[in-house]
Structure 1
Amino acid sequence: MDADANQALLDRYYAAFAARDGAAMGRCYSADATFRDPVFDLQGSDVAAMWRMLCSRGTDLRISSSNRVADAQGGSADWEARYAFSVTGRPVHNIVHSQFRFRDGRIVAQVDRFDIWRWARQALGLPGLLLGWTPMLRRKVRANAEKALRQFLEAERRHSA
C-alpha cells in the first residue's frame, strides 16, 4: 500500500474512535494484528474486541487526535481520551502516543505509550498515587483489564447465540 492509503486508514480509524465506533475501529486491523500498551497485550480478534468493549462502555468517552502521519509501512499519532473510569467514577485525561505498522491496507501492529502512573493517579486516586508506579499495581490493572475483556467476549457470545 502507499502512504496515502495508509494515511486514509489512520484518518478512518481515528474518526471511528472519536465516534466511539469500536466495530469500525476493529475493521481497520488485520486478522493477525497485535496491540500493546501499559494495560493490554493482545493479538488477533482480541484487539478488535478490546475497542468494542472500551467504546461501548465509555458512554462519556471523548477522543481527540493529532499528528496523524503515515508512510508505506507505518505511522504514528497522538491522541487524548477523556472519560470517567468505570470502576471509581473518577475523571481521567489520558495522553497517548501510538505507533503503527501496516500491511495490505490494515493495521498489523500497534503500540500505545502513556504514563501509567499518571493514569493510575487519576483513575484510582490515592492508591494510584501511592502504588501506581509499582509492578504489583500494574499487574493488578492488567489482570482486571484481561478479566473485563473475557467477560465482555462471553457476553457478546451469549447475546449472539
Structure 2
Amino acid sequence: MHANQTTLENLYLAFSQLDADGMAACYADSARFEDEAFSLRGKHEVAGMWRMLCSATLTGNRADWRLTWRDVQADAQTGQTHWEAYYRFSATKRLVHNIVDANFTFDDEGRILTHHDRFNFWRWSWKALGMPGLVLGWSPMFRKQVRKQARANLDRFLAKNTALEAA
C-alpha cells in the first residue's frame, strides 16, 4: 500500500469518528477543497469546514451519523475513493444519505494538496432540504444560493472559533 493510500484511510477513519483534528492533519498548508457547497483555499479553511461539520454532528445528531468508504487508491501523485455519509442535516433535521466520489493530489510529504468531492447535488438537495431541493435542486441559481449560505456559515464558524482560540 502506498503511503498516500494510508493518508486517505486515515482521513476517512478520522471522519467516521468525527475527529476533525485527525482529518486536518491529512492536509497540506496550501490545500484546496472543492465540492457542490464549498470552494476552499488553504488548510485553515479546509480544516475549518471539517471542524464545523463534525461539530454540528457531534452536538446535534451523533446518533444518526455513519460513514462508509471503499475503493481507496493512491500513488505518489493522485488518489481516489468512494464514500457515503448518513446524517441528519442540521438546518432542516432531515435524514440524508450522500454518495460521493473523491479525487486527490498529494504534496511531497504525503499530505492532501487538492481534494475534489463529486455528488449529485439535486439528489442531495432533495434529501437535505425537502421540497425546495426537489423542485429547485437542478437550478444553477439555487446551487449558487446554497454555496453562498455554506460560505457564510463557514465564515461565521471560523470567526467565532478564531476569537475563542485567541481568548
Q: Do they fold alike, i.e. is TM over 0.5?
A: yes
Q: TM-score, normalised by structure 1?
A: 0.95
Task: Report what 2:46 is aligned to.
Answer: 47
Task: Report what 1:14 is aligned to.
Answer: 12
After superposition, what is the alpha-carbon deviation per residue over 1:61-84, rounded to whole angstroms, capped at 9, x for unaligned? 321111111111111000001111
Hey, what's the Cα distance between the residues in 2 that align with 1:8 and 1:120? 32
Are 1:144 and 2:142 counterparts? no
Residue identity matched to 1:140: Q
Query: Which 5+ residue runs of structure 2 have no aligned equivalent?
Result: none
Query: Which 5+ residue runs of structure 1 have no aligned equivalent?
Result: none
Hey, what's the Cα distance between the residues in 2 that align with 1:157 and 1:46? 12
1:27 Cα shift? Answer: 1.1
1:131 Cα shift? Answer: 0.3
Hey, what's the Cα distance between the residues in 2 that align with 1:159 and 1:48? 16
Hey, what's the Cα distance between the residues in 2 that align with 1:50 and 1:149? 6
Partner SS for 1:20: coil
Task: Report what 1:84 is aligned to.
Answer: 88
Partner SS for 1:88: coil
The share of aligned pairs that are identical, in percent, is: 47
Measured on the aligned residues, the alpha-carbon RMSD in Å equals 1.0
- Find runs of 4+ consecutive structure 1 residues off by over 6 angstroms: none
Task: Report what 1:156 is aligned to.
Answer: 161
Task: Report what 1:67 is aligned to.
Answer: 71
After superposition, what is the alpha-carbon deviation per residue over 1:79-112, rounded to whole angstroms, capped at 9, x for unaligned? 0011111111111000000000011210000110
After superposition, what is the alpha-carbon deviation per residue over 1:25-77, rounded to whole angstroms, capped at 9, x for unaligned? 01111000100001100010201111111111113232111111111111100
After superposition, what is the alpha-carbon deviation per residue over 1:1-24, rounded to whole angstroms, capped at 9, x for unaligned? xx6211111111111011101111
Task: Report what 2:125 is aligned to.
Answer: 120
1:158 Cα shift? Answer: 2.3
After superposition, what is the alpha-carbon deviation per residue over 1:92-149, rounded to whole angstroms, capped at 9, x for unaligned? 0000000000112100001100000000000111111100000111011101100110
Q: TM-score, normalised by structure 2?
A: 0.92
Residue identity matched to 1:48: A
Partner SS for 1:58: helix
